Amino acid sequence: MTPIRVGAATVARIEESYEPNFDPRLVFAEWSDDVRDAHRDWMVPNHFDVATGLLKLSVHSWLVRVGGRNVLIDACVGNHKPRPRFPKWHLMETPYLDRLAAAGVRPEAIDVVMCTHLHSDHVGWNTRLDDGRWVPTFPNARYVFSRADYDYHRALDADPAKGPQAAFRDSVLPVVEAGRAEMVDGAHALDEHLVVDPHPGHTPGTVAIRLASRGEAALFSGDILHHAIQVHHPDWNSSFCADPAAARRSRRRVLEHCAGSGALLMPAHFGAPFVCRIESRGDRFIPHLD
């Protein structure tokens, strides 16, 4: 994917995986064959796989270069991570770091890692396995975490009814223990270009990250929207949303912001072309996926 210009910033997609991977009926309670057929013209082949009947979702990071810094937004699943609940992600082996290097950046050159939330497919490359220990993959970076999300996942990890939270233990705690984490509360300006903006719902501490440079803008939405079908149906939550009402409010805020400001929407899992502009038509939203 050719890097995208946003003012003086460049944004590159660093792919971990892009494949048919989720049953739409398990992700979206409202999914039906009628919905599939009504949206088939734009969903196939980049967002829905006819042969398997599965949603085609990407797992990727966004590499933002602006103001002389290299910023990585979301950190995918990671290699060697035990994820038996998600067979496609269990003990993965991908050339993610090679793809990062092909984009011109090695791990030690990353200045900031920003996670939109702390689910396993957004934190995995925070750490790598080194002689049996999980250590920060990006040794010179500060890792920006939402304190609300950190506290939420820490409580889950300590809850006997929930059991140990693997991703929290192998991809978040080692960063904190290494002294590389920066916890932020509420809206937080990283610098003049990047702002962390709370959008609770998918998780209590989910954030959107806004990029602005020279009159142009983009919004990194994480899992506030999982799939482009949610632009057409903003009231649809995924089965992974912790607070359904708040998730709907946050999703609509993102869509209204992008439609009203012209900001480029840069989600974490949309299929090709992976980014889109949002148009508002009355009370409806239309994604421009071209």
pLDDT tens profile 114-138: 999 999 999 999 999 999 999 999 9
Is the pLDDT confidence value at 192 over 90? yes
Q: Predicted confidence band at 1 (pLDDT cuts at 50, 70, 90)?
A: low
Q: What number is the average pLDDT over the span 178-206? A: 97
pLDDT tens profile 60-105: 999 999 999 999 999 999 999 999 989 999 999 999 999 999 999 9
Q: Predicted confidence band at 140 (pLDDT cuts at 50, 70, 90)?
A: very high
- What's the pLDDT score for residue 163? 85
Go through the domains of the chain in sequence order and give each one's CATH number: 4-288 (3.60.15.10)
pLDDT tens profile 200-215: 999 999 999 999 999 9
Between CA 74 and CA 125 the distance in angstroms is: 9
pLDDT tens profile 151-177: 999 999 999 888 899 999 999 999 999
